Amino acid sequence: MDKDLLYRFFNQETTFEEEKLIRQWLEASEENRETLFKERKLFDALLLHAETSSLTQSRRHYKVLFRRAIIAVSSVAAVVLLAVTGTVRYMEQAMQKLPDNVITVPQGQRVSLRLADGTQVWLNAKTRMSYPQSFQSANKRMVSIDGEAYFEVSKDKKHPFVVQTKRGAIEVLGTKFYVSAYSRTDKFETSLIEGRVKVYTPSAELILRPNDKAVWKDGHLVRSKIDDTDLYRWRDGLYCFKNETFREVLKQFEVYYDVKFVYQNKQLSNPKINGKFRLVDGVDYALNILQKEVEFTYHRDEETNVIYIK
């Protein structure tokens, strides 16, 4: 598989036909999947490096960055350690005067990285996170999330870990939890897997214990139980949904795939459906599968990224 094609795919520049070609190549062998994984690691490293350095994200600059990275192997190796294996030593260098790192995950992709304190973070598609290059000079370890993330927080009783979102914040000492808080939607949810967290908004505060989740609903923060852990399998590259309406599923597609749906048929049915998709398969593949459950047709405008549903 041509590496330039793979990198254009990671950078959201491929056509539907090219994405189909990549899916076929992936399904052909385990070796191909391992190759994609390795190239994805390098891309994530370059992406993080570019965000950290406030570099231009244009396609022309991206290709220059990639060529330079191939030539300067030792430099790339250091960046890969930062983004993929998360070497703590690299993150704890004298960087206190530098601005926060910012990483933005492309549609249909995921990124995993380790922060300076040892906290492991997984970021879902269309997620943006800002975080300090070092926590040494702060009383609290603070990061900011716009999107969906899973945290395995390193324990440090003297320095609570705080995740800030547009809707509210989550404070922990050491724990494992999910956050879903895309600014482009009204959704705010924190699901606790292990440990204990405090979730708070300007008007409410909740203490969660394992298997609890806090959901923003009708202007209030509501506690409930986690009823299906499959819903958090996006870390494995799967989007799973259960008992959600057709339009709710498409709303999530808008977030993951950076598209917009326009409904041209006001009488279109909106049944509740269950299912799962691999994010890498793309929105067109997912819509073709959904047509088996819901009677609809669609047309995609490639220039505007608008999908018209009939």
Q: Which residue has the higher pLDDT, 113 or 87?
A: 113
**90 assigned to some structural domain:** no
The conformation of residue 106, written as its DSSP 8-state character, comes to: P
Closest by Cα among 175, 106, 116 to 141: 116
**Domain end: 182, 203, 231, which one?**
231
Q: If we measure between CA atoms, which residue out of 258, 298, 306 comes closest to residue 279? A: 258
Q: What is the CATH number of the domain that holds 275?
A: 3.55.50.30
pTM for the model = 0.63
Domains in the chain, number: 3
Residue 30 has pLDDT above 60, yes or no: yes
Closest CA to 26 of 11, 57, 5: 5
Q: What is the mean pLDDT of residues 45-55?
A: 51
Instruction: Kindly state whether residues 112 and 65 are assigned to the same domain.
Output: no
Q: Cα 106 to the chain's mean position, in Å?
A: 8
Q: Encode pLDDT of 168-185 as tens digits.
A: 899 987 789 999 888 877
Query: pLDDT for 254-308, tens place per residue?
Result: 888 888 899 988 788 888 988 888 888 888 999 998 998 889 999 998 888 899 9
Q: What is the extent of the structural domain holding 165?
A: 95-231
Which domain-ending residue is among 52, 85, 118? Answer: 85
Each residue of 262-275: pLDDT tens digit?
998 878 888 898 88
